[in-house]
Structure 1
Amino acid sequence: MRYGFAIDTQRCIGCHTCAVGCRMENNLPQGTWWNRILTDGGENMDTPAGVFPDITMSYVPVACQHCENPACVKVCPVGATYTDPETGVVRQDYDKCIGCRMCVAACPYTGVRSFNWEEPKYTIDFAIGSADVPAHQKHVVEKCTMCWHRLADGEEPACIRLCPERARFWGDLDDPNSEVAKVIASREYKQLLPEKGTKPSVYYLV
């Protein structure tokens, strides 16, 4: 199987629930976002392009694209970044990571990875989210794990469960009967930087 996402850009309202839910579920350190909601519009977040009344704006949630042909995996010298053979999820082994950031340099999707330069700091003094989330470490690269701890328990990623507009779909892209495969087959879509040859597993429905 090959897990992936479809995001309906017509239904996404830019509420950032998926981004905040990701932070909570994965107990992310201060200043770290694995999922960001970018604005396809003006120069700043949540601003339209154009001059009133001729304005346009839409939202583009961006996280690790869990590529079928990931550039990050190819350059990691220690195998800390790897593709799970059973699900196609691009994973990160914190204990193996040496902090070289080769994966960050190779990834064409700017900003989907973060690096812990210092010991992770948190807003509150106790862990939140799932108890199964690996502890965040100093001098390692982090990114969206597709909520691997939830997948291991047969659950869907937190961002899918929390989206109030049901703009996000997830499942096995190789199963034609899965919801995500059906919606991709029935709609026009785009992918980020397809010319890079990474074959991302995130489809943006237009």
Structure 2
Amino acid sequence: MKRIYAIPEWCVNCRRCEVACKAQHSPWPGNIVKAFTLAGDEIYNRVRVEGDNIVSFAANCRHCAKPKCVEGCISGAMQRDPETGVVTSDPSRCVGCRTCVSMCPFGAISVVPAPSGVKSIALKCDLCGDGAGAPGEPSCVAACPNRALMYVESEAM
């Protein structure tokens, strides 16, 4: 299966991956201006840059073959598709317990307010695949100016 890999040595901490992710998951996919001005803080990016101007990298889901987040999920919200290998989080089933956050070895899961505002839900990369780059390439990968994010075939993890 194809996975996103970060190359820390090439990351310049520009955060374009975060911006592209937020825009892609807004009601206006790919429209950065509308995503930031109209949606504001209601849309959350699923990748985040960690580090500083010296050493940084994009923390994102690796869609593991045996995901610890799925094993630890008490509500069944975290699931791995057996055919595609994509690990997803179902917000309607998530109870906001944060077990998946503590179990993920890559720190790739965030907890954000639910759209209803009543509870918190787990949020993670969904391999959006609708970026402006190559067909099927996630938006974060397409937005990276240094190609510090790569979307490549790999059986590892």
Is 2:122 aligned against 1:166? no
Q: Counterpart of 1:76 in structure 2: which amino acid?
A: C
1:67 is matched with 64
2:35 is matched with none
Q: Counterpart of 1:35 in structure 2: which amino acid?
A: V
CA distance in 2, matches of 1:168, 1:110: 16
Deviations 1:4-61 (A, max 9, x none): 123333322221111111111112872844212122xxxxx33xxxxxxxxxx22211
**Aligned partners of 1:156 and 1:170 also within 8 Å:** yes
1:103 is matched with 100
Q: Which one of 17, 41, 56 corresponds to residue 30 of structure 1?
A: 41
**Aligned partners of 2:80 and 2:87 also within 8 Å:** yes
Aligned counterparts, 1:144-183, within 5 A: 144-147=125-128, 150=130, 155-174=136-155
TM value normalised by structure 2: 0.73
Q: Could you say which structure has the greater relative contact order, defined with CA pairs below 8 angstroms and 6 or more residues apart? A: 1
1:178 is matched with none
Runs of at least 4 residues of structure 1 off by over 6 A?
none
2:113 is matched with 116
**Aligned partners of 1:19 and 1:37 also within 8 Å:** yes
1:18 is matched with 17
1:5 is matched with 4
Aligned length: 141
**Identity fraction in percent:** 30
**Aligned partners of 1:3 and 1:87 also within 8 Å:** no
CA distance in 1, matches of 2:24, 2:137: 12
Q: Over alpha carbons, which structure has the higher Rg?
A: 1
Shift of 1:88: 1.5
